[in-house]
Chain A
Amino acid sequence: MITTIMMIVGAIFGFAIAFAIASDIVMEKIIKANVLGDEKSTFYNYSKEPLYLSKATDDIAWYDKM
Chain B
Amino acid sequence: MKIECPNCSAAVIYDAASKMMKCNFCSSSFTVYTVSKQQTEETLECDIYSCTSCGAELSVNSVEASTFCAYCGQPTIVYSRVSQEQKPKWIIPFQITKKQAIKLLKDKIEDGAFVPRQFAKFEIEKIHGIYIPYWLVDAYYHDVQTIRGKVGNGKYSSTQYFDREAEYEFKRLPFDASCRLNDELSQKLEPFDMDKMKPFEAAYMSGYYADSYDQSIEITSIFAQNKAKKLFDEQILATVPTTNRSIVSSAPTFKLRKADYALFPVWFLTIRFRNQPYTMMVNGQTGKTVGAIPFSKVKVSATWIGLFSLFSILFAPVCALLAPSLLGFEEFEVIGYFYYFFFLVFAVAIVKASINWGKIKQMNILTRETKLNQFAHKRQDQEGGRYE
Contact = CB atoms under 8 A, between A and B. Distances in A.
Interface in B224-279: 231, 235-236, 239-241
Interface stretch (B11-19, B25-33, B198-206, B346-354): B346-354
B290 interface: yes
A59 B160 CA distance: 11
B327 to A, nearest CB: 7
Contact of B170 (A28, A48, A56): A48
Nearest to A18: B311
A46 B289 contact: no
A50 B288 contact: no
Interface string A29-44: 1111111111101011
B115 interface: yes
A55 to B, nearest CB: 9
Contacts of A27: 352-353, 356-357, 360
Given A7-B320, A30-B114, A45-B191, A18 B315 contact: yes
Which among B112, B289, B356 has the greatest number of chain A C-beta atoms within 10 A? B356
Nearest to B283: A37
Given A20-B353, A21-B311, A28-B352, A58 B167 contact: no
Given A7-B323, A34-B292, A48-B235, A21 B191 contact: no
A36 B235 contact: no
A30 B299 CA distance: 11
A19 B311 CA distance: 8
Given A28-B352, A53-B239, A21 B163 contact: no
B237 to A, nearest CB: 11
Contacts of A22: 304, 307-308, 310-311
A50 B356 contact: no
B161 A61 contact: yes
A28 B123 CA distance: 27
A61 B160 contact: yes
Interface stretch (B70-78, B171-179, B369-377): B171-179
Contacts, number: 209
Contacts of A43: 191, 193
B122 interface: no
Contacts of A9: 323
A56 B149 CA distance: 14
B298 interface: no
Interface in B312-339: 312, 314-324, 326-327, 339
B24 interface: no
B291 interface: yes
A35 B364 CA distance: 8
Nearest to A66: B159
B188 interface: yes
Contact of B360 (A8, A35, A52, A61): A35
Given A13-B342, A45-B174, A30 B349 contact: no
Contact of B173 (A34, A36, A46, A54): A46
A17 B171 contact: no
B160 A17 contact: no
A48 B231 contact: yes
A38 B148 CA distance: 32
Interface of A: 2-3, 6-11, 13-39, 41, 43-54, 56, 58, 60-64, 66
Interface of B: 108, 111-115, 148, 158-174, 185, 188-194, 231, 235-236, 239-241, 280-281, 288-295, 300, 303-304, 307-308, 310-312, 314-324, 326-327, 339, 342, 345-346, 349-350, 352-353, 356-357, 359-360, 363
10 contacts: A2-B324, A13-B339, A13-B342, A17-B342, A21-B307, A30-B113, A30-B114, A43-B191, A45-B174, A47-B171
Question: 5 closest A-B pairs (Cβ-Cβ)?
Answer: A10-B323, A14-B316, A37-B290, A18-B311, A14-B319
Given A19-B308, A34-B292, A54-B163, 9 more contacts: A6-B324, A22-B308, A23-B353, A26-B304, A29-B303, A37-B185, A37-B288, A53-B165, A58-B241
